[in-house]
Structure 1
Amino acid sequence: MDTTQEDETAGRSSSGVTVKPVVNAVRILRFLTETDTPERAADIARQLSINPSTCFNILRTLAAEDMVAFDPASKTYSPGLGLAKLVGHLVTQGQRLDIARPLLQQFAARFHVTVTLWRQMGYDRIVLVSSEASPSDLRIDMAIGQRLPIFMGASGRLFAAEVDLDPTAMRAAFDKIRWARPLEFDEYCQQVQFAKEHQWAIDDGYFSAGIMAIAAPVRDRAGAISFAVSAVMFRGQYIGADADKLGGEVRKLADKLSNLLF
């Protein structure tokens, strides 16, 4: 079978006629993700029986969209960052949260708290992507999808500890937040520094009156914060040394989540 015939065959499926360039693009991506080494365009075309000119044009388009990476020195192609991000977002929002749910439920039941997972959304917001409440009669329920300013709450202090903002920019962001009770900027900065040093943070009634939260960062393999996991409870439920111990437990939970999800 010649390459033209093969291209025609690639454009058909049991469900009817499909778009040949799309089919060939999928075949190329599948081939690159299954092979262990970067490949030259001519070798990809030969292995997949795609017209060389067609294969080159598809690869050039995929490279422009960051779906594949091109090495100009070796003139080879490999899976790109865009493809990894595309797959990563799909898995993170679906299967990964399902995998983590039993761990969150166990922690919530053990410490009688509500466990939440927050993720950065854009440059100035965090969004609640998972919430598991304690099975006790008196508990705190939080709605999935709610958004907060990125520096608000215990989780916000973790994100604040990661950014490299000058004091003026940090103060501007701080002043836009509506706190439930008075909080001085200098005190907030001290709490952010504590979060940076101890890898867990606390918000004692500033996010919401009568509510305390303790959060720790869930990091990906590169060490960046992917999620912030937070234990949410009523104020006075954990105080002093007990709150510090819970902070350590939340950090352990965050480490387990990092190992589980990444």
Structure 2
Amino acid sequence: MIEIDDPTAEAGLAATVKASKAPAISRAAAILRLLGKRGTPLGVQTIARELGLVPSTCLYVLRALVEEELVAFDADTKRYSLDAGVLTLARAWLRRDQFHDLAQPVLDRLSQEFGLTTLGVQLYGLDHIIVTAMSQSSQNFQLSTQVGSRFPALVSATGRCIAAFGEWPEAQLRPRFDKLRWEDAPSWEEWRAQVAEARATGVAVDRGHYISGVTVVAAPVWKAPGRPSHALVAIGIGSAVRGEGLPRLKEALLAAARSLSEQLSG
């Protein structure tokens, strides 16, 4: 199994904290995201260093999060980790998230039909995307990420969808594009051409640029007129994303995205 991760996420957390107009809330959110991303308990000094916080300030926020049962403290190791309280928040959100309910069976079907990992992601403008649903095939070789993972908005195939259908000016796209990290980065001109292709076909494709040897296909989903609100994403290697398999996958993903858009828009 190959884990898909965002190499820029931790730097982005620190930048968000510094730029926030509500620093206390931003610090708490950044700490929760960092603990969730790492998956292992962390000490105050490590958390403070990763997020660019003063250790005493970091400790103050951590103690408040412990009181709210969002973070657990191990008195023996002096380290912090996420606590069960975050599940209450997550469950409440999932119960009201119509996209998750509608997308999950679609992702399950596509995953099994094509032998791929499929994702449902929510788009947050040019800031970031968040994985809200996921399905994996029963094949031995899998690529996976986790529900709740955050990625830069313009990365991979989903980023091309955002650029193609969001009607963002190039003056806003180019600075963000220049900060992206790829295994095999496309040039700005190549990326623009791929965005234009996505606009013409309705589906975006990343052929090994984001992760070497891995093809990512994405189709936008609309909840209301304007910019897309979500996207369906398929990730894999092999025949399903090469040769004759790719057009069939693109057609299936596009049809599923259009169906979801109709359901979400009522």
Give the TM interval when normalised to the shorter protein.
Answer: 0.5 to 0.7
Residues 1:195 and 1:131: Cα distance change in structure 2 (over 3 Å): same
Does residue 133 (structure 1) correspond to residue 132 (structure 2)? The answer is: no
TM-score (norm. length: structure 1) = 0.60
Question: Structure 1 CA distance, aligned partners of 2:261 and 2:95?
Answer: 12
Aligned-residue offset at 1:122:
5.5
Contact 2:194–2:204 (8 Å) recurs in 1: yes
Residue in 1 that maps onto 2:109:
106
Question: Structure 2 CA distance, aligned partners of 1:247 and 1:189?
Answer: 20
Aligned-residue offset at 1:216:
0.5
Does residue 238 (structure 1) correspond to residue 241 (structure 2)? The answer is: yes
Contact 2:119–2:135 (8 Å) recurs in 1: yes
The letter for the 1-side match of 2:146 is A
* Paired residue secondary structure (2:216): strand
Residue in 2 that maps onto 1:222:
225
Contact 2:115–2:240 (8 Å) recurs in 1: no
Contact 1:210–1:235 (8 Å) recurs in 2: no
Question: After the TM superposition, which residues 18-167 of structure 1 pair with which residues of structure 2 at under 5 Å, given as runs?
Answer: 94-121=97-124, 123-167=126-170
Question: Structure 2 CA distance, aligned partners of 1:165 and 1:98?
Answer: 29
Question: Structure 1 CA distance, aligned partners of 2:228 and 2:95?
Answer: 13
Question: Structure 1 CA distance, aligned partners of 2:138 and 2:204?
Answer: 25
Contact 2:217–2:233 (8 Å) recurs in 1: yes
Paired residue for 1:197, among 180, 195, 200?
200
Does residue 171 (structure 1) correspond to residue 174 (structure 2)? The answer is: yes
Question: Structure 2 CA distance, aligned partners of 1:201 and 1:149?
Answer: 16
Two-structure CA RMSD over aligned residues (Å):
2.3
Residues 1:112 and 1:143: Cα distance change in structure 2 (over 3 Å): same
Question: Structure 2 CA distance, aligned partners of 1:176 and 1:169?
Answer: 12
Identity, % of aligned positions: 27
* Paired residue secondary structure (1:164): coil
Question: Structure 1 CA distance, aligned partners of 2:242 and 2:135?
Answer: 22
Aligned-residue offset at 1:163:
3.2
Question: Structure 2 CA distance, aligned partners of 1:236 and 1:112?
Answer: 10
Question: Structure 2 CA distance, aligned partners of 1:188 and 1:114?
Answer: 24
* Paired residue secondary structure (1:225): coil
Name segments (4+ residues, structure 1) moved above 6 Å.
Answer: none
Question: Structure 1 CA distance, aligned partners of 2:159 and 2:223?
Answer: 18
TM-score (norm. length: structure 2) = 0.59
Contact 1:183–1:206 (8 Å) recurs in 2: yes
* Paired residue secondary structure (1:220): coil
Aligned-residue offset at 1:133:
0.7
Residue in 2 that maps onto 1:19:
none
Question: Structure 2 CA distance, aligned partners of 1:139 and 1:126?
Answer: 22
Aligned-residue offset at 1:231:
0.8
Residues 1:206 and 1:96: Cα distance change in structure 2 (over 3 Å): same
Residues 1:122 and 1:163: Cα distance change in structure 2 (over 3 Å): closer
Aligned-residue offset at 1:183:
1.0
Aligned-residue offset at 1:137:
2.0
Aligned-residue offset at 1:90:
5.3
Contact 1:204–1:235 (8 Å) recurs in 2: no
Does residue 181 (structure 1) correspond to residue 184 (structure 2)? The answer is: yes
Size of the alignment, in residue pairs? 174
Q: Which runs of 5+ in 1 are unaligned?
A: 1-88
- Determine which structure has more spread, i.e. the larger CA radius of gyration: 1
Q: Which runs of 5+ in 2 are unaligned?
A: 1-91
